[in-house]
Amino acid sequence: MKIAISGKGGVGKTTIMAILAGALRQLGREVLVIDADPSPHMAETLGIINADQVKPIAEMTKLLAERAGKTQGSPFYNLNPEVNDLLHDFMIEQDGIKLMVLGAVQTAEGGCACPENHVLRKMLKKMLLTANEVVLLDMEAGVEHLGRGTVAGVDQLLIVVIPSRSSIRTALKIKEMADSVQIPGVFFVANQVVDEDDRQFLCNELGESPVAFFPDSTTIRKAERSETPVTDIADSLSEAPDQLLQAVLNGA
Ligand SMILES: Nc1ncnc2c1ncn2[C@@H]1O[C@H](COP(=O)(O)OP(=O)(O)O)[C@@H](O)[C@H]1O
Ligand SMILES: [Mg+2]
């Protein structure tokens, strides 16, 4: 299963993806998280030590180019099933959760990391997963990845939304694009929900109910400040992590 996450900047994508990674791991799933944000912070959120030692996928582009010289067509054309071996060089693992970092190089003009995104796109499409393996793709804010088709190969897209009009506007735009590239499961996940008013506002404006409602949480804030892995404090978030887990497992 391949799951991507999107939503406006700062709404809690990385936090929620890390919590989901922990919950899936607890169920015994093999979890690979790919941090595709040009300003990566999944390692810190998961509390992964020595994260700077992970080789970014950006470096894989060179390797793939070399290999591609020996094969016809796409670099991944002849790579399966060896692709899994290759990927191991670009992973760091802690507590059973594997992490890869896209490591996009940002230009002064904020230019695009096209080769990296190309590799990511190919990887998502061609990775062979068993029923027990889950790939979680954490992305930068907004809809750029959808525009580039990076998430076209995923089974599910989680759109994180907080009770604000601007976040909802972005979420609805993302949903429209996700539907146009025919992602099988597209769900809203609410974050920073304080009360019933927040819930109602989200349901009304989105036109459907989010699959999980994460509370506004002092515990999350404190975890971030004290560099505590967010997976350690998931129990304090009432039923939200389980709601999300069930939605993901049921595909709805
Ligand atoms: N439910 C929440 N309650 C309180 N703080 C939160 C919550 N979700 C996320 N945060 C905090 O908000 C900030 C942004 O979250 P993050 O997951 O990094 O967002 P994104 O990945 O969407 O940019 C982080 O400091 C995080 O600890
Ligand atoms: Mg993030």
pLDDT at 213 over 50: yes
Could you tell me the distance, in angstroms and rounded to a whole number, from the CA of residue 59 to the centre of ligand 1?
Answer: 29
List the single range of 44-58, 114-128, 144-158, 212-226 with lowest mean pLDDT: 114-128
Residue located nearest, by CA, to atom 15 of ligand 1: 12
Say if ligand 1 is within 6 A of residue 10 CB.
yes
Question: Percentage of the chain surpassing pLDDT 90?
Answer: 56
- Integer Cα distance of 145 and 137 in angstroms: 11
- Integer Cα distance of 51 and 98 in angstroms: 11
For 58-73, how does the pLDDT look when each residue is reduced to its tens digit (9 = 90+)?
776 666 555 544 444 4
Q: Answer for the pair 151, 157: CB distance below 8 angstroms, yes or no.
A: yes
Check residues 23 and 87 and name the one with the higher pLDDT: 23
Check residues 150 and 63 and name the one with the higher pLDDT: 150
Could you tell me the distance, in angstroms and rounded to a whole number, from the CA of residue 51 to the centre of ligand 1?
Answer: 20
Q: Answer for the pair 175, 19: CB distance below 8 angstroms, yes or no.
A: no
Q: Quickly count helices (H) and strands (E) in the chain.
A: 10, 8
Could you tell me the distance, in angstroms and rounded to a whole number, from the CA of residue 161 to the centre of ligand 2?
Answer: 13
Say if ligand 1 is within 6 A of residue 14 CB.
yes
Sign, CA dihedral 191-19-41-102, equals negative
pLDDT confidence tier of residue 131, bands split at 50, 70 and 90: confident
Phi and psi at residue 197, to the nearest 5°: -60, -45
- Class of the CATH-defined domain 2-250: alpha beta
Report residue 198 as tokens.
Answer: 């927040």
Ligand number nearest to the C-alpha of 213: 1
Say if ligand 1 is within 6 A of residue 238 CB.
no
**What pLDDT does 129 receive?**
83
pLDDT at 4 over 90: yes
Collapse the DSSP code of 232 into the 3-class scheme (helix H, G, I; strand E, B; otherwise coil) and give the result: helix
Could you tell me the distance, in angstroms and rounded to a whole number, from the CA of residue 74 to the centre of ligand 1?
Answer: 38
Ligand number nearest to the C-alpha of 161: 1
Say if ligand 1 is within 6 A of residue 224 CB.
yes
**What pLDDT does 102 receive?**
83
pTM of the model: 0.89
What is the overall mean pLDDT for the chain?
A: 85
Task: Look at the block and give the residue holding tokens 């591609």.
Answer: 68
Instruction: Ligand 1, residue 223: give the atom nearest the CA.
Output: 27
Check residues 74 and 17 and name the one with the higher pLDDT: 17
- Integer Cα distance of 168 and 160 in angstroms: 9
Residues, Cβ < 5 Å to ion ligand 2: 13-14
Could you tell me the distance, in angstroms and rounded to a whole number, from the CA of residue 52 to the centre of ligand 2?
Answer: 17
User: Across residues 21-26, what is the average pLDDT?
Assistant: 97
**What pLDDT does 27 receive?**
95
Ligand number nearest to the C-alpha of 224: 1
Report residue 46 as tokens.
Answer: 């998961």
Strand 92-94 versus strand 97-101 pairing type? antiparallel
